């Protein structure tokens, strides 16, 4: 067992420690010290500084974890948002609106009613009249479907924004710690 002489980084007192010892408390100032055995010299380091550095690194790690969670959540939202989109007649993708669904469905249903009335008044065969009724039903279905998609999007977006705001608050709180 080899005894090594080291200096306390807290008060400067000389301490004698076994070469196998990794941590020691100064008998004079009660500073907690780490004994560092470098190839050429053995010295001490205040543990409080190490603890503060470790705490700061843990805080920085927490901020990074929260930022990664925010980025993941935003990516997932973009994918979910894609599922709400509808494709127009020229391939243009957009989010449905309740008003747009009602107007589009109204025009399509009106066309179906006009078709049905015209076909019925001209004495057209039953399939032509039924086509108008099917068209009206399809228009109403699409209007309701578009409106429900618009409402589901609005609800999902609201949930995403509240979760995102909470994560941003957590990031700011972690930065201040």
Domain 3-50 -> CATH class: mainly beta
Q: Would you state the torsion angle of the CA atoms of residues 9, 13, 17, 22, taken in this order, to the nearest 10 degrees?
A: -20
Q: How many other C-beta atoms lie within 10 A of the C-beta of residue 77?
A: 17
Q: How many CA atoms lie within 13 A of 8 on its CB side?
A: 16
pTM over 0.85: no
Give the tens place of pLDDT for each residue, 77-101: 999 999 988 887 788 898 889 999 9
Q: Would you state the torsion angle of the CA atoms of residues 158, 163, 169, 173, taken in this order, to the nearest 10 degrees?
A: 170
Collapsing DSSP states into helix, strand and coil, what is residue 9?
coil
Domain boundaries, the chain: 3-50, 85-176
Give the tens place of pLDDT for each residue, 31-74: 888 888 888 888 787 777 666 777 778 878 888 999 999 999 99
């Amino acid at each position: 067992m080899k005894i090594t002489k080291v200096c306390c980084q807290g008060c400067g007192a000389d301490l004698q420690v076994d070469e196998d010892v990794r941590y020691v408390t100064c008998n004079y100032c009660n500073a907690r010290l780490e004994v560092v055995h470098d190839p050429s010299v053995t010295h001490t380091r205040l543990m409080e500084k190490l603890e503060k550095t470790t705490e700061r690194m843990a805080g920085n790690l927490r901020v990074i974890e929260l930022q990664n969670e925010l980025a993941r959540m935003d990516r997932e939202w973009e994918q979910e948002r894609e599922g709400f989109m509808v494709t127009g007649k020229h391939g243009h993708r957009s989010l449905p609106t309740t008003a747009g669904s009602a107007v589009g469905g109204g025009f399509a249903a009106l066309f179906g009613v006009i078709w049905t009335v015209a076909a019925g008044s001209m004495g057209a065969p039953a399939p032509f009249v039924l086509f108008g009724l099917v068209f009206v039903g399809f228009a109403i279905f699409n209007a309701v479907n578009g409106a429900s998609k618009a409402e589901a999007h609005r609800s999902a977006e609201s949930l995403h924004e509240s979760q995102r705001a909470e994560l941003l608050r957590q990031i700011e709180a972690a930065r201040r710690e």
